[in-house]
C-alpha cells in the first residue's frame, strides 16, 4: 500500500482516537458525549476543528508578548539603558513566551492525544491485513493528524511574527531554529505525558483518587490558561514593557545571572540567544553568547533523546505492546459491608458529592460559581475608593453570580441521568429530592459570591462591597431556585426523567428555548433594576429598597415550592 492510501486510512484511526479522548476526558458522562454524537454527525469534526482553532488563536494572542518586547528593546538601547538589563529582561520574557507556548500545547494537545493511548484504537487495525511497517506509518500519520495545526502554529507563528517585526533574515532564521527545537521538545513531552495521563484516567481506574484529582487539576489548569490567554496578556503587556526602562542598581548581579541562567536549555537559552541578536553585536561580544549556544546544544541533545523515547512509545502502542499493568483493585470482603442510614436529604447530598467528583462536566458546573465571581475583582484590581466605581463592580458581579447559579442548577439536574431506573424503583419523595438540590445551591452560591470579598479586607469601601455582594448572592439564590422550579415544571419531576421520556420530553427543544429565554429576560430585568437603584442611591438606601424586594420574592418562591411539592401526607 502506498503512503497516500495509508494516510487516508489514518483518518479513521484519528477520528477514533479523538472520540476516545473525548470519552476519557468526560469521565463518567460518557453517555452524554455519545448522545451528542448521535444527534449531530458532525459533532466530532466540529470539535476537532474547534480545538485546533482555539489553540492557534491562543498562540497568536500570546505572540504579542515577545513582539511588543522587540520594539521596547530598540527604544531602550536608544535611551541608553544598560545592555545587561535589556538582555536579562528580553531573555526571560522570550523564555516565558516559550514556556507558555509549551503549556498551551500540553493543555490543548492532551485533549486529542490521550485517545491514542487509552482505547487500544490500533487494535482493530491489527485485525486487518497490514504489515508491521505499514502499521507504524499509520501510527505516525495519525499522530500528525492529531496535532497538525498545533504543529504548524507552534513552529511558524513565532518566526513569522519575528520576520514581520524585525525584517531581519538572520534573526528570523534564528527564531525559526529555536522554534524548531521548542516544537520537537513540546511534542515529545506531549506524547510522553499523554501516555502517562492515559494510564491514569483509563476507564477501569476511573474510581481512583489520583484520577479524579488529575481531572480536576487538568480542568483548573485549562480554565486558568484560558483566562490567562484572554485576560492575562492584556494586563501583562502594559506591566512588563515599562520594565525595560526601569534599570535596577545592582547590575552586577544580573550580569552573572545572564551567564548562568542563560545556560538553562529550555526555555532560557533560546530566549537569551534571540535577545542577543536583537540587541546586536555592536553592543555585546560574541563570547557572551557562548553559554546560550551551549545551552541550545544541550537542548538539541535532549530533543534527540526525547524523540527516541516517544517514538518507542508510539511503536509500542501501535503494536499493542503497551504493558497492560494488572490493575490494583480493592477486593472487598463481607466485613466491609456496613450500611449507614441517614436522612433522605442527606443521602441525596452524599450521592451527589460522590458523583460530582467523578464527572468532569459536573465539576465544571460546580467550579464555575466559584470562579466567575472573581472576574470583576480581577478586572478591577483597584476599583477606586469612591462608591461610583463600585457600581460597575456590582453590575458585573451580579451578572456572573446569576450565570453561576444557572450553571449549578443545570449541573445538578443532569447528574441523575445514569441512575434513572434505580430512582424509578425507589419511594422517592420529590420534595426531599428538590430540597437536596436547593441545599447545594445555598452552600455554593453564597460561598462563591462572598469569597472574593476577602481581597478587599481593610479597604475603605470594604463594607459597601460586602453588603452589595450579600445582596447579589441572594439574587443568585432566588434565581437558581426559580430556574430549578421552572425546569421541573417544564420537564417533569426528576425521578421520571428517563421513564416518562415520551410523555414529558415532547417539545424538548422548544422548552429549552423557553427556559433560556425566560431566564434571560428575567436576568435583564433584574440587572437593569439593580443597576438603576445602585447608581442613584447610597448603599443604605439601596439596601433598604433591594432587601425587602428580595424577601418578598423569597417568600413567593417558598410558597410556589410548597405548592409544587407538598409535604407528604401521613398514611395511617
Ligand X SMILES: Nc1ncnc2c1ncn2[C@@H]1O[C@H](COP(=O)(O)OP(=O)(O)OP(=O)(O)O)[C@@H](O)[C@H]1O
Task: Pick between residue 426 and residue 540 the one whose CB is nearest to another protein.
Answer: 426
The item of another protein, ligand X, none sharing an interface with residue 287, based on CB under 5 to 8 Å by kind, is: none
Give Cα separations from 39 to 19, 31, 35, 42 (angstroms): 15, 12, 6, 9
Task: Pick between residue 285 and residue 421 the one whose CB is nearest to ligand X.
Answer: 421
Shortest gap between Cβ of 392 and another protein (angstroms)? 41
Q: Give yes or no for a contact between 46 and 19, defined as CB atoms under 8 angstroms apart.
A: no
Choose, by CB under 6 A, the member of 458, 502, 567, 571 that binds ligand X: 502
Cis ω on the peptide bond leading into residue 267 (within 30° of 0)? yes
Shortest gap between Cβ of 518 and another protein (angstroms)? 27
User: What are φ and ψ of residue 159, in 5° steps?
Assistant: -60, -35
Task: Pick between residue 2 and residue 340 the one whose CB is nearest to another protein.
Answer: 340
Shortest gap between Cβ of 31 and ligand X (angstroms)? 17
The answer to whether 2 contacts ligand X (rule: CB under 6 A) is no
The item of another protein, ligand X, none sharing an interface with residue 343, based on CB under 5 to 8 Å by kind, is: another protein
Shortest gap between Cβ of 507 and ligand X (angstroms)? 15
Task: Pick between residue 203 and residue 492 the one whose CB is nearest to ligand X.
Answer: 492
The item of another protein, ligand X, none sharing an interface with residue 169, based on CB under 5 to 8 Å by kind, is: none
Residue 431, judged by CB atoms within 10 A of its CB (0-12, 13-18, 19+), counts as middle
User: What are φ and ψ of residue 509, in 5° steps?
Assistant: -65, -45
Task: Pick between residue 75 and residue 350 the one whose CB is nearest to another protein.
Answer: 350
Shortest gap between Cβ of 215 and another protein (angstroms)? 12
| Distance (Å, whole) CA 147 – CA 55 | 10
Shortest gap between Cβ of 417 and another protein (angstroms)? 8
Residue keyed to cell 441512575: 419
Q: What is the DSSP track for 502-528?
A: HHH-TTHHHHHHHHHHHHHHHHHHHHH
Residue in the shown chain whose Cβ atom is closest to ligand X: 502
CA nearest neighbour of 315 among 142, 197, 198: 142
Helices 233-240 & 64-78 angle (0-180, nearest 10): 10
Shortest gap between Cβ of 503 and ligand X (angstroms)? 9
Shortest gap between Cβ of 501 and ligand X (angstroms)? 6
Residue keyed to cell 492510501: 5
Q: Give yes or no for a contact between 106 and 277, defined as CB atoms under 8 angstroms apart.
A: no
Count residues near ligand X (CB under 6 A): 2
Shortest gap between Cβ of 194 and another protein (angstroms)? 22
The item of ligand X, another protein, none sharing an interface with residue 439, based on CB under 5 to 8 Å by kind, is: none
**Using alpha carbons only, what angle is made at residue 126 by residues 124 and 131, rounded to the nearest 5 degrees?**
145
Task: Pick between residue 145 and residue 437 the one whose CB is nearest to another protein.
Answer: 437
Shortest gap between Cβ of 38 and ligand X (angstroms)? 16
Task: Pick between residue 334 and residue 503 the one whose CB is nearest to ligand X.
Answer: 503
| Distance (Å, whole) CA 109 – CA 159 | 21
Task: Pick between residue 171 and residue 438 the one whose CB is nearest to another protein.
Answer: 438
Q: Measured in whole angstroms, how far is the alpha carbon of residue 552 from the centre of its chain?
A: 39
Give Cα separations from 538 to 143, 152, 455, 545 (angstroms): 61, 56, 22, 11
Shortest gap between Cβ of 358 and another protein (angstroms)? 4
The item of another protein, ligand X, none sharing an interface with residue 424, based on CB under 5 to 8 Å by kind, is: another protein
Task: Pick between residue 350 and residue 489 the one whose CB is nearest to another protein.
Answer: 350
**Using alpha carbons only, what angle is made at residue 170 by residues 167 and 173, rounded to the nearest 5 degrees?**
100
Tell me, residue by residue from 169 to 208, as one string, x for binding to ligand X by CB under 6 A and - for no binding: ----------------------------------------
Grid coordinates representing 18 are: 479523538
The item of another protein, ligand X, none sharing an interface with residue 500, based on CB under 5 to 8 Å by kind, is: another protein
Task: Pick between residue 28 and residue 420 the one whose CB is nearest to ligand X.
Answer: 420
Shortest gap between Cβ of 134 and another protein (angstroms)? 33
Task: Pick between residue 430 and residue 527 the one whose CB is nearest to another protein.
Answer: 430
| Distance (Å, whole) CA 98 – CA 62 | 10
The item of ligand X, another protein, none sharing an interface with residue 239, based on CB under 5 to 8 Å by kind, is: none
Q: Measured in whole angstroms, how far is the alpha carbon of residue 61 from the centre of its chain?
A: 17
Grid coordinates representing 105 are: 500545547
The item of ligand X, another protein, none sharing an interface with residue 250, based on CB under 5 to 8 Å by kind, is: none
The item of ligand X, another protein, none sharing an interface with residue 341, based on CB under 5 to 8 Å by kind, is: another protein
Residue keyed to cell 527604544: 75
Q: What is the DSSP track for 183-235?
A: HHHHHHHHHHHHHHHHHHH-GGGTTSHHHHHHHHHHHHHHHHHHHIIIIIHHH
- Give the interface with another protein as residue ranges (CB under 8 A): 27-28, 30, 203-204, 206-207, 329-334, 336-344, 346-348, 350-351, 354-355, 358-359, 418-422, 424-429, 496, 498-500, 502-503, 568, 571
Q: Which residues bind ligand X (CB under 6 A)?
A: 501-502
Amino acid at each position: 500500500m502506498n503512503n497516500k492510501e495509508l494516510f487516508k486510512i489514518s483518518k479513521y484511526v484519528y477520528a477514533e482516537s479523538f472520540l476516545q479522548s473525548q470519552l476519557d476526558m468526560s469521565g463518567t458522562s460518557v453517555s452524554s458525549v455519545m448522545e451528542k454524537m448521535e444527534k449531530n454527525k458532525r459533532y466530532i469534526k466540529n470539535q476537532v476543528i474547534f480545538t485546533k482553532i482555539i489553540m492557534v488563536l491562543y498562540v497568536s494572542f500570546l505572540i504579542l508578548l515577545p513582539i511588543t518586547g522587540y520594539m521596547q528593546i530598540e527604544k531602550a538601547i536608544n535611551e541608553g539603558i544598560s545592555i545587561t538589563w535589556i538582555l536579562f529582561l528580553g531573555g526571560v520574557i522570550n523564555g516565558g513566551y516559550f514556556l507558555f507556548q509549551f503549556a498551551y500545547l500540553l493543555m490543548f494537545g492532551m485533549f486529542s492525544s490521550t485517545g491514542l493511548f487509552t482505547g487500544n484504537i490500533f487494535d482493530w487495525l491489527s485485525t486487518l491485513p497490514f504489515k508491521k511497517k505499514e502499521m507504524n506509518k499509520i501510527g505516525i500519520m495519525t499522530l500528525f493528524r492529531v496535532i497538525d495545526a498545533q504543529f504548524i502554529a507552534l513552529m511558524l507563528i513565532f518566526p513569522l511574527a519575528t520576520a514581520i517585526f524585525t525584517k531581519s533574515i538572520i534573526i528570523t532564521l534564528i527564531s525559526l531554529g529555536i522554534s524548531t527545537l521548542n516544537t520537537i521538545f513540546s511534542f515529545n513531552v506531549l506524547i510522553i505525558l499523554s501516555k502517562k495521563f492515559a494510564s491514569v484516567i483509563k476507564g477501569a481506574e476511573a474510581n481512583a483518587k489520583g484520577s479524579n484529582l488529575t481531572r480536576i487539576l487538568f480542568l483548573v489548569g485549562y480554565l486558568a490558561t484560558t483566562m490567562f490567554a484572554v485576560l492575562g496578556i492584556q494586563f501583562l503587556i502594559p506591566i512588563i514593557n515599562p520594565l525595560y526602562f526601569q534599570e535596577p542598581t545592582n547590575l552586577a548581579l544580573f550580569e552573572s545571572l545572564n551567564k548562568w541562567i542563560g545556560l538553562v536549555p529550555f526555555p532560557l537559552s533560546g530566549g537569551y540567544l534571540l535577545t542577543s541578536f536583537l540587541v546586536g553585536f555592536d553592543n555585546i561580544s560574541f563570547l557572551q553568547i557562548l553559554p546560550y549556544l551551549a545551552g541550545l546544544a544541550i537542548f538539541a541533545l535532549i530533543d534527540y533523546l526525547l524523540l527516541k523515547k516517544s517514538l518507542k512509545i508510539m511503536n509500542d502502542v501501535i503494536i499493542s505492546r503497551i504493558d497492560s499493568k494488572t490493575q490494583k483493585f480493592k477486593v472487598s470482603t463481607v466485613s466491609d459491608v456496613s450500611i449507614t442510614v441517614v436522612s433522605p436529604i442527606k443521602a441525596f447530598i452524599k450521592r451527589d458529592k460522590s458523583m460530582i467528583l467523578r464527572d468532569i462536566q459536573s465539576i465544571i458546573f460546580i467550579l464555575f460559581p466559584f470562579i466567575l465571581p472573581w472576574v470583576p475583582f480581577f478586572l478591577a484590581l483597584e476599583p477606586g475608593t469612591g462608591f461610583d466605581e463600585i457600581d460597575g463592580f456590582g453590575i458585573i458581579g451580579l451578572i456572573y453570580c446569576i450565570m453561576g447559579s444557572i450553571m449549578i442548577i443545570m449541573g445538578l439536574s443532569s447528574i441523575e441521568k445514569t441512575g434513572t431506573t434505580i430512582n424509578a424503583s425507589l419511594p422517592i419523595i420529590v420534595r426531599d429530592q428538590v430540597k437536596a438540590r436547593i441545599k447545594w445551591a445555598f452552600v455554593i452560591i453564597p460561598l462563591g459570591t462572598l469569597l472574593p470579598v476577602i481581597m478587599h479586607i481593610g479597604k475603605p469601601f470594604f463594607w459597601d462591597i460586602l453588603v452589595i455582594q450579600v445582596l447579589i448572592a441572594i439574587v443568585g439564590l432566588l434565581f437558581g431556585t426559580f430556574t430549578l422550579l421552572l425546569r421541573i415544571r417544564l420537564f417533569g419531576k426528576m425521578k421520571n426523567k428517563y421513564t416518562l421520556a415520551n410523555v414529558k420530553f415532547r417539545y424538548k427543544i422548544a422548552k429549552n428555548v423557553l427556559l433560556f429565554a425566560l431566564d434571560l429576560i428575567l436576568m435583564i430585568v433584574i440587572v437593569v433594576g439593580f443597576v438603576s437603584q445602585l447608581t442613584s442611591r447610597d448603599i443604605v438606601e439601596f439596601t433598604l429598597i433591594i432587601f425587602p424586594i428580595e424577601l418578598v420574592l423569597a417568600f413567593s418562591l417558598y410558597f410556589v415550592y410548597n405548592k409544587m411539592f407538598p409535604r407528604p401526607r401521613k398514611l395511617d
